[in-house]
Amino acid sequence: MKRNEDNQQDQPNNPLHGMKLKEVLEFLVSFYGWDGLGERIAINCFLSNPSIGSSLKFLRRTPWAREKVEKLYLASIPKF
């Protein structure tokens, strides 16, 4: 069995499995815009001179902020 197949079986109930943080952030920015994202999650990387790069850098080092972004993403995607 290949390594990727093992990883897919390890997290069968994780809706974010296989999603990259960049993809999640790009979806949220396109859906809400930077202003809307900053209103929903009040962190400086969304409020002051926001960019994908600086936001990713902050979110990768800050688990509580990443968790908020992931929760907003899950609440924003249509339920299939």
Helix axes 21-40, 63-76, angle to 10 degrees: 90
CB atoms < 10 A from the CB of 29, how many? 17
Domains of the chain: 18-76 (1.10.720.30)
Helix axes 52-61, 21-40, angle to 10 degrees: 100
Residue 13: pLDDT over 90 = no
- Residue 2 has what pLDDT? 47
- Residue 79 has what pLDDT? 62
pLDDT tens-digit map of 43-70: 999 999 999 999 999 999 999 999 999 9
- Residue 10 has what pLDDT? 67
Greater confidence (53 vs 77) lies with 53
